[in-house]
């Protein structure tokens, strides 16, 4: 069974001032497309220690998908925090997600999303907007089992 953590990074959502729309939508998409997936979800503020703590707590998961904190605001620190945590970068994932996102909106050029690997966990930053997160979740759902198999020594196609 694939184990996934979804972490929403948003000051306003963490304070309860804003409804988290992206995190729950990511969960819905994964549940629809990956039957049996085990998902946990958390909401944290745009604070390095809060993000880092939640990442560390979920390193037993196959994937950690973050949503939010990838833009140009001084509070947007998700990519840097994740990059410091990872053993190695997986640039193809972020390049692909940005490329596909550009088909929907030119604003995707401002995304600084990062993807990397920490041990046997793949960490991927999604945009904070619901449409952006929805697109990225839909795309990733189609390849997540293959990534899991690669990390664990398998090689079959899905």
Q: How many domains does the chain have?
A: 1
Question: What sign has the CA pseudo-torsion 49, 114, 85, 149?
Answer: positive
* Residue 156 maps to a domain: no
**Any domain includes 97:** yes
Q: What is the pTM of this model?
A: 0.96
Mean pLDDT for all residues in the chain: 96
Q: Which range of residues forms the domain containing residue 91?
A: 3-151
Q: What is the pLDDT of residues 101-141, one digit of tens each?
A: 999 999 999 999 999 999 999 999 999 999 999 999 999 99
Q: Is residue 27 part of a domain?
A: yes
In a domain, 158, yes or no: no
Tell me the H-state helices in the chain: 11-14, 22-33, 48-57, 78-85, 91-102, 130-141, 144-151
Question: Is there a domain that residue 157 lies in?
Answer: no
Per-residue confidence (pLDDT) for residue 2, from 0 to 100 = 97
Looking at residue 52, which CATH number applies to its domain? 3.40.980.10
pLDDT band at 155 (very low <50, low <70, confident <90, very high): low
> How confident is the model at residue 158, as a pLDDT?
52
pLDDT digits (tens, 9 = 90+) for 3-24: 999 999 999 999 999 999 999 9
**Is the model's pLDDT at 154 over the cut of 80?**
no
83 within some domain: yes
pLDDT tens for each residue of 71-88: 999 999 999 999 999 999
Q: Is residue 52 part of a domain?
A: yes
Q: What is the mean pLDDT of residues 143-152?
A: 96
Closest by Cα among 154, 97, 89 to 123: 89
Q: Are strands 121-126 and 38-44 parallel, antiparallel or unpaired?
A: unpaired
CB atoms within 10 A of CB 144: 23
Task: Note the pLDDT tens digit of each residue in 34-68.
Answer: 999 999 999 999 999 999 999 999 999 999 999 99
């Amino acid at each position: 069974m694939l184990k996934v953590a979804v972490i929403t990074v948003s000051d306003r959502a963490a304070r309860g001032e804003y409804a988290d729309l992206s995190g729950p939508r990511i969960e819905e998409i994964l549940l629809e497309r990956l039957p049996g997936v085990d998902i946990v979800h958390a909401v944290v503020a745009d604070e390095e220690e809060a993000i880092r703590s939640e990442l560390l707590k979920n390193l037993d998961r196959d994937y950690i998908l973050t949503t939010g904190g990838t833009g140009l605001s001084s509070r947007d620190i998700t990519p840097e925090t994740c990059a410091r945590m990872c053993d190695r970068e997986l640039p193809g994932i972020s390049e692909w997600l940005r490329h596909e996102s550009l088909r929907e909106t030119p604003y995707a050029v401002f995304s600084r999303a990062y993807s990397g690997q920490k041990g046997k966990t793949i960490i991927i930053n999604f945009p904070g907007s619901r449409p952006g997160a929805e697109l990225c979740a839909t795309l990733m759902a189609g390849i997540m089992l293959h990534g899991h198999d690669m990390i664990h020594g398998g090689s079959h196609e899905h």
